[in-house]
Structure 1
Amino acid sequence: MNYMISIIIPVFNRKEYTRECLLSLGKQTDQRFKVVIVDDGSTDGTEDMLRQEFPEVEVLKGSGSLFWTAGVNMGIRHALKQGAQLIMTMNNDVVTDEHLIEKMYYWHEQKPEALLGALELDANTQQPIFGGERLNWLLNTIEEVLPTLPKDEQKGLHAVTHLPGRGLLIPRVVIEKIGLFDQDRFPHYIADYDYTHTARRAGFELYVNYDARLLTYPEESGERQIRSDKNFKNYYKHLFDLKGGGNLRDFTRFTLKNCPAPYIPFHLANGYTRRLFGYFLK
């Protein structure tokens, strides 16, 4: 195996997170990877920091209007032109466990056409907080995998129905079959779930790799911040803002594109209710 993982990281400001992420990647036990940063108009000195501290990192510049999905797609296109066989999408506000790349390669060799995600740990407590989900369209329920597993089974691969874009390993064969992320319908949130649902329908397996771990900051997400100060302005953002986790337009588009046709009316009604009223309950 003589190829390398191309890690695509879209960034906009928050250079301290980017620095911490890149420093953690520098400590990987397996260094067979390249990092491509897509800097979408940062104004906090990110560009200078990358040039001075991480000259080995490739930096692509956006116009300031890419958001997550178009930024990731720009990086993927660049990597594919360079012959990349494996793509990993990653957010800048994560810290990688030193064995992440090593364990991704190991399980990729066992499942060469599968998409692999990482087990997420809270960066502050070091406790596992996300180990994948399984969506049941018929019942409109999501089963979290992690709470169902005894401690001694929190290892290896666990099948899921969708994966987040944080530490998502995508073989080139997947991209060649289903294309890039859908930046027109989903410019920021839910593009990763849409992509992995699309891949699953196309016949590709999805797993969370519990041996590959990421440290994340759950309180730093845009939606968590919108929910932390509950008021009608933030309620509006929750439902309609591009970075709102309850964005009704994105949810509708996601459902119409991915949900089996017989279940669409119930899924939409259930989802709208949760988004309209759940904001004030959580």
Structure 2
Amino acid sequence: MNRDRTAILITCHNRKPKTLACLDALFNQVLPAEVTLDVYLVDDGSTDGTTEAVRQTYPQVKILPGDGNLYWNRGMHKAFAEALKYDYDYYLWLNDDTILYPDAIASLLTTSHHLAAQGEEKAIIVGSMAHPETGKLTYGGLARNSWWHPFKYKLVEPDKDPQPVDTMNGNCVLIPRSVVQAVGNLDPAFTHSIGDIDYGLRAQQQGCTVLVAPGYTGKCQTNPPQAHAWLAPELTLRQRWQKANQIKGFPPAESKVFCQRHASRLWLFFWALPYVRLVSISILGAAEDNKT
């Protein structure tokens, strides 16, 4: 059997130009003869003609329809679940706003092979993304940078050798079959965000490793941090809570699952912490307004 049968997993929603650009870079990869790619694209209810454009330009892509309510994590879960039926050697998460460099997939596979030869067969390989204009790191591997807070992370700059990290952003992530057999799919308990970080942490718990691949793998611009929109100073307490409770914020039910799973006995403290901060910011803001 071909050792490098690879399933590419993508989800999209109303970003036709970006999705097509992502696919263009994907299908222009310089690959060894033994590597084959099958693309699974979840179109989560796009109304901008994404599905039609992809079918016309890239008819080999397997398109899975969504109803517009899947968002990133559940869309990727759906693509992953479909690909799992065919028992691939590798599964590659790929954001549709990511432009891979021509040798990206070959480099990720080479890194995986080298690590496997050294005994690290259950290793997730994370591709680092550079800002298209500044060249600065935007997404990639994440390492804890707080001695007391388990969910404070920093991006890890890629080096000439693979760098161990705690977890990752899901923009470009290569997962071998051995990891999938241990960890399974993304958890649909999460709708949009957190799922990629949760997967990396669960992988570590199952004896897998997470490493940043050498060098940069592609380009991706930083998306606005919608999860922190509730920090805007002009908001009322009710507005803050509504923004925090949105799917792209940090919904309490999903945050609870994450904290219970990864914060041990102190999960309740770390779960409550951002919501206490939310109330505090509103009270302090109101107090300042009363002084003026």
TM bin, normalised by shorter chain, reads 0.7 to 0.9
Cα distance in 1 for residues equivalent to 2:229 and 2:48: 21
Q: CA 1:51 to 1:228, structure 2 compared with 1: closer, same or farther past 3 Å?
A: farther
* Deviates most, 162-171 or 22-31: 22-31
Q: CA 1:60 to 1:265, structure 2 compared with 1: closer, same or farther past 3 Å?
A: closer
Matches within 5 A, 1:53-72: 53-72=57-76
Q: CA 1:234 to 1:266, structure 2 compared with 1: closer, same or farther past 3 Å?
A: closer
TM-score (norm 2): 0.82
Q: Paired residue for 1:127?
A: 136
Q: Paired residue for 2:164?
A: 159
Q: Paired residue for 1:38?
A: 42
Report if the CA contact (8 A) 2:124-2:211 is conserved: yes
Q: Does residue 240 of the first structure (1) align with residue 226 of the second (2)?
A: no
Report if the CA contact (8 A) 2:259-2:268 is conserved: no
Report if the CA contact (8 A) 1:118-1:212 is conserved: yes
User: Which residue, out of 137, 144, 158, partners 2:154?
Assistant: 144
* Deviates most, 69-78 or 269-278: 269-278
Report if the CA contact (8 A) 1:137-1:260 is conserved: no
User: Which residue, out of 87, 90, 95, partners 1:83?
Assistant: 87
Matches within 5 A, 1:111-260: 111=115, 112-135=121-144, 139-140=148-149, 142-146=152-156, 154-183=159-188, 185-220=189-224, 222-223=226-227, 231-232=235-236, 235-244=240-249, 246-260=250-264
Q: Paired residue for 2:290?
A: none
Which of the pair has more CA radius of gyration? 2
Q: Paired residue for 2:288?
A: none
**For 1:252, what is the secondary structure of its paired residue?**
helix
Report if the CA contact (8 A) 1:226-1:234 is conserved: yes
Q: Paired residue for 1:47?
A: 51
Aligned-pair CA distance for 1:210:
3.1
Structure 1 residue ranges without an equivalent (≥5):
none
Aligned-pair CA distance for 1:62:
2.1
1:146-199 CA-to-partner distances (Å, cap 9, x unmatched) read 3xx6xxx7232111111121111111222222221110x212110111111111
Aligned-pair CA distance for 1:220:
5.0
**For 2:223, what is the secondary structure of its paired residue?**
helix
Report if the CA contact (8 A) 1:137-1:267 is conserved: no
Letter in 2 for 1:38: V
Letter in 1 for 2:50: T
TM-score (norm 1): 0.84
Letter in 1 for 2:175: I
**For 1:39, what is the secondary structure of its paired residue?**
strand
Structure 2 residue ranges without an equivalent (≥5):
116-120, 286-292
Letter in 2 for 1:139: W
Cα distance in 2 for residues equivalent to 1:118 and 1:277: 38
Q: Paired residues, what number?
A: 273
Aligned-pair CA distance for 1:144:
2.2
Report if the CA contact (8 A) 2:7-2:38 is conserved: yes
| Identical columns (%) | 25
Aligned-pair CA distance for 1:76:
1.5
Report if the CA contact (8 A) 1:178-1:198 is conserved: yes
Aligned-pair CA distance for 1:21:
0.6
**For 2:10, what is the secondary structure of its paired residue?**
strand
Q: Paired residue for 1:29?
A: 30
